[in-house]
Amino acid sequence: MKVFVLGGDGFCGWPTALHLSDLGHDVTIVDNLSRRKIDVDLEVESLTPIAPIGERLKVWKELTGNEINFVHLDLAEEYDRLEVLFREQRPDAVVHFGEQRAAPYSMRDSSTKRYTVDNNVRATHNVLVAIATTGLDIAMVHLGTMGVYGYGWSGTAPIPEGYLTVKVPTPDGEIDREILHPANPGSVYHMTKTLDQLLFAFYSSNDQVRITDLHQGIVWGTQTSQTALDERLINRFDYDGDYGTVLNRFLMQAAIGHPLTVHGTGGQTRAFIHIRDTVRCVQIALENPPTRGDKPQVFNQVTEVYRVRELAELISKLTGAEIANLPNPRREAVENELNVSREKFLALGLDPTKLSEGLLEEARDIALRYKDRADTTKIIARSVWRQGMETSPDLMKS
Amino acid sequence: MKVFVLGGDGFCGWPTALHLSDLGHDVTIVDNLSRRKIDVDLEVESLTPIAPIGERLKVWKELTGNEINFVHLDLAEEYDRLEVLFREQRPDAVVHFGEQRAAPYSMRDSSTKRYTVDNNVRATHNVLVAIATTGLDIAMVHLGTMGVYGYGWSGTAPIPEGYLTVKVPTPDGEIDREILHPANPGSVYHMTKTLDQLLFAFYSSNDQVRITDLHQGIVWGTQTSQTALDERLINRFDYDGDYGTVLNRFLMQAAIGHPLTVHGTGGQTRAFIHIRDTVRCVQIALENPPTRGDKPQVFNQVTEVYRVRELAELISKLTGAEIANLPNPRREAVENELNVSREKFLALGLDPTKLSEGLLEEARDIALRYKDRADTTKIIARSVWRQGMETSPDLMKS
């Protein structure tokens, strides 16, 4: 299969590109390297050392014989080149990771709010327009987020995979209607994924674009079997207050002797998935596209559910790290329950990596190994959801 | 009240600006004159002769003594200037018409699809970010569309004003949940208004921005008592296949002896409102903003409901014009029922202009008076919802 991986230089995109290439697919990465450039602006780096994209691809070819193409292209700004690329290359599928993906970054200031909306909405819309305009039957797999659903809306019912059937009152009695789960995003970033859902609904209805939307939980872990082949293929590990995800941050904090930064009570319950399962889920989604004319297909890409404080306690027990309860810069429920439907991927053969299996490897091979690269001034989350919200001072001097 | 009218040079914005100025409000029009420029590109003009904005404002001041300010600014592209304008001028309210508003134009080609999304989403988001960032308590009134609801979704129940309460099944029994009416847009233009709704929900929740969203029907009519004061204040009358709205098109077609262009069976039932009621509704919305912290307030801005073929028959009877049933370039139901809740504006004192009252005036004072300005090659709708859909040849030689 000829597959374009949009945003294929990023944290989820890069291991996905290698995984698909390893399976024998003809892979092209389309990326503007924005994730690296945002690091430049934030004056921070991945804990793991990231090779330039050219070197990454050269090493991959040397080690495996598989060639991955790279096109430097801005999806939001260079529509015409994207359309030409589709016409010339005629991919069978695109996997779309080409969006700004950090909630705290999306809430930093007016500029990052605007960038997140402008980039994400335009990138997604441009891809859809290019598919519709060329008339090519390119299946699209998009990385969404569990954050589109919000938390607790459905009472005790599990969060469905995209759609739910509700009863609507009418003068003639109730009728059943299937609706897209109502949107309840907690940040500008999450909001863009709810906008994407409406774009998908329209283009699948008007132009029969075949779309799979993957509502992913919080990713943890760093390596897949492909990225672990050589240090020059290593995946990103973000630990900073904007891009670091909670579990990876805890592991790194434990490694350098920094208290584990729990915001509020840590009663927030969230869904998690290992990066190894992310790449498998994308593969499964590519192998099981919807039929032309179907509505967008939604999978919840989630394997386990934990409270943030449970994770902190687990890692504290493992490593002896202290736990610090810091002010919560987000506007969110202090505590919530979470119950997520995740039957579809299990039915299609996903065999999840459990936290209990991957955690020690992650602590040893990544956090401890690269801890000297950490900049401790970048750990505390400084983005606040509204002006005047409290944040913590640095807890450790570098 | 100090009011900014964003898009105040357009078809709804201009009469609204005059109406609010006439009421004694301190009005500033913010517009990039894009509506006039799109006419340049489409090689078409308003049937009525539109004076330059500077002349419009000079005449208004001469006749009434009221000064309306004008700021030439692109909401999507010039965020920084917008934020400075808010900080310096500290408006009490903004009325936001600054979006590309024609469904056929939004479906013409990849470029107009992209322009519609890029312009509309960014304009709306920039206004919200500017309100949130400045921390000013600026109430926002936004022109939405009935098209966000789609048609027939709620069975025989009237389309509610924004929200409806549904029953959600849970393991413990059903629970009631209020949801935003599910989106079912029929064009890229309508889709942008469904995206706006999600932007509003987020910024009203996260930043307590006070927002009123007006889901307007199809506007007909041209003049308000203010625009009728002097020909140099006259409002737009669009008749072309992209920007012309159905009733105005029929009136103009009748005036020049062109068959009335009914797409499909004309069984499409749509909601209508006279431009005179549009400006009153905006006034009422400004006078009745939501409380800070409330969810976005939604009004259906609609006064009457007709089938397209009923309108054609009405005008045919009035004028003797023939009716032509042309191919429908849209993907929509051939026939639909429509039942719309519209209690809120009536409860707040709106006294609607009925079709039976305004139609003859419109035919006489606008369509017949300016018929020699018509370009008959611009009448047939050429935008199609999918490639290959049929359109009609020109029915009349110029």
* Strands of B69-72's sheet in order across: B69-72, B26-31, B2-6, B93-96, B139-145, B211-216, B297-301
Query: Which residues of chain A from 101 to 120 reach within 8 Å of chain B, CB to CB?
Result: 109-110, 113-114, 117-118
Could you tell me the residue range of the domain that residue B323 belongs to?
Answer: 2-378
Identity of the residue numbered A297: Q
| Tokens representing residue A293 in the block | 């004319």
Mean pLDDT of the A30-46 span: 98
What is the SS3 string spanning chain A?
CEEEEECCCCCCHHHHHHHHHHCCCEEEEEECCHHHHHHHHHCCCCCCCCCCHHHHHHHHHHHHCCCCEEEECCCCCCHHHHHHHHHHHCCCEEEECCCCCCHHHHCCCHHHHHHHHHHHHHHHHHHHHHHHHHCCCCEEEEEEEHHHCCCCCCCCCCECCCEEEEEECCCCCCEEEEEECCCCCCCHHHHHHHHHHHHHHHHHHHHCCCEEEEEECEEECCCCCCHHHCHHHCCCCCCCCCCCCHHHHHHHHHHHCCCEEEECCCECEEEEEEHHHHHHHHHHHHHCCCCCCCCCEEEEECCEEEEHHHHHHHHHHHHCCCEEEECCCCCCCCECCCCECCHHHHHCCCCCCCHHHHHHHHHHHHHHCCHHHCCHHHCCCCCCCCCCCCCCCCCCCC
Does the annotation count B37 as an active-site position?
no
Q: How far apart are CA A224 and CA B87, in angstroms?
A: 50
Q: How far apart are CA A5 and CA B319, in angstroms?
A: 60
Is residue B388, in this structure, part of any structural domain at all?
no
- CA quadruple A167, A169, A174, A180: dihedral positive or negative? negative
B183 has a chain A CB within 8 A of its CB: yes
Q: What percent of chain A has pLDDT over 70?
A: 99
The confidence score (pLDDT) of residue B154 equals 83
Identity of the residue numbered A256: I
Residue B119 · residue B32 · CB < 8 Å:
no
pLDDT in tens, A264-308: 999 999 999 999 999 999 999 999 999 999 999 999 999 999 999
Contact A155 B172 (CB under 8 A): yes
pLDDT in tens, B382-398: 999 998 899 999 998 65
B163 has a chain A CB within 8 A of its CB: no
pLDDT in tens, B79-120: 999 999 999 999 999 999 999 999 999 999 999 999 999 999
Q: How far is B84 from chain A (nearest CA, A)?
A: 13
Q: How far apart are CA B141 and CA B138, in angstroms?
A: 10
Phi first, then psi: what are they for B396, rounded to 5°? -150, 135
B177 has a chain A CB within 8 A of its CB: yes
Does the annotation count A193 as an active-site position?
yes
The confidence score (pLDDT) of residue B398 equals 57
Query: What residues of chain A lie within 8 A of the CB of B83, using their CB?
Result: 110
- Three-point CA angle A193, A197, A203, nearest 5°: 135
Phi first, then psi: what are they for B109, rounded to 5°? -160, 180
- Report the 10 Å Cβ neighbour count for A357: 10
Candidates B79, B135, B169; nearest CB to A114: B79
Is residue A368, in this structure, part of any structural domain at all?
no
Q: How far is B90 from chain A (nearest CA, A)?
A: 18
pLDDT in tens, B332-363: 998 999 999 999 999 999 999 998 888 888 88
Is residue B232, in this structure, part of any structural domain at all?
yes
N-term to C-term CA, chain B: 48
Candidates A129, A155, A188; nearest CB to B170: A155
N-term to C-term CA, chain A: 48
pLDDT in tens, B244-294: 999 999 999 999 999 999 999 999 999 999 999 999 999 999 999 999 999
Mean pLDDT of the B133-157 span: 93
The enclosing domain of A57 has a CATH number of 3.40.50.720
A389 has a chain B CB within 8 A of its CB: no
B341: buried, middle or exposed (CB in 10 Å: 19+, 13-18, 0-12)? Answer: middle
**Residue A397 predicted with pLDDT over 80:** no
Query: What residues of chain B lie within 8 A of the CB of A192, using their CB?
Result: none
The one-character DSSP state at B23 is T
Query: What residues of chain B lie within 8 A of the CB of A134, using their CB?
Result: none
Q: Are strands A260-263 and A323-326 parallel, antiparallel or unpaired?
A: parallel
pLDDT in tens, A79-128: 999 999 999 999 999 999 999 999 999 999 999 999 999 999 999 999 99
Phi first, then psi: what are they for A151, rounded to 5°? -130, 130
Q: How far apart are CA A303 and CA A281, in angstroms?
A: 11
Q: How far is B390 from chain A (nearest CA, A)?
A: 16
The one-character DSSP state at B386 is S
**Residue B152 predicted with pLDDT over 70:** yes
Identity of the residue numbered B242: D
Residue B353 · residue B285 · CB < 8 Å:
no
Is residue A232, in this structure, part of any structural domain at all?
no
- Report the 10 Å Cβ neighbour count for B55: 12
Is residue B270, in this structure, part of any structural domain at all?
yes
Question: Could you give the ipTM of this predicted complex?
Answer: 0.97
Closest residue of chain A to B190, computed from CA coordinates = A202
pLDDT in tens, A358-395: 888 888 889 999 999 999 999 999 999 998 899 999 99
Query: What residues of chain A lie within 8 A of the CB of B175, using their CB?
Result: 154-155
Q: How far is A371 from chain B (nearest CA, A)?
A: 36
A346 has a chain B CB within 8 A of its CB: no
**Mean pLDDT, all residues of chain B:** 96
pLDDT in tens, A60-93: 999 999 999 999 999 999 999 999 999 999 999 9
Is residue A39, in this structure, part of any structural domain at all?
yes
Residue A254 · residue A260 · CB < 8 Å:
yes
Does the annotation count A212 as an active-site position?
no
The confidence score (pLDDT) of residue B91 equals 98
A153 has a chain B CB within 8 A of its CB: yes
Mean pLDDT of the A319-326 span: 95
3-state secondary structure of B76: coil
From B124, B145, B194, B278, the catalytic residue: B145
More confident residue, A235 or A151: A235
Q: How many domains does chain B have?
A: 1
Task: Identify from B77, B83, B125, B181 which residue to disrupt to test chain A contact, counting A C-beta atoms within 10 A and taking the largest count.
Answer: B125
Per-residue burial over A153-167, b if 16 or more Cβ lie within 10 Å, else e, is: bbbebbbbbbebebb
Q: Tell me the residue ranges of DSSP E strands in B125-186.
A: 139-145, 163-168, 175-180
Contact B156 A170 (CB under 8 A): yes
| Tokens representing residue B334 in the block | 């051939």
Q: How far is B188 from chain A (nearest CA, A)?
A: 8
Query: What residues of chain B lie within 8 A of the CB of A293, using their CB?
Result: none
Size of interface A-B (CB pairs under 8 A): 136
Is residue B387, in this structure, part of any structural domain at all?
no
Is residue A200, in this structure, part of any structural domain at all?
yes
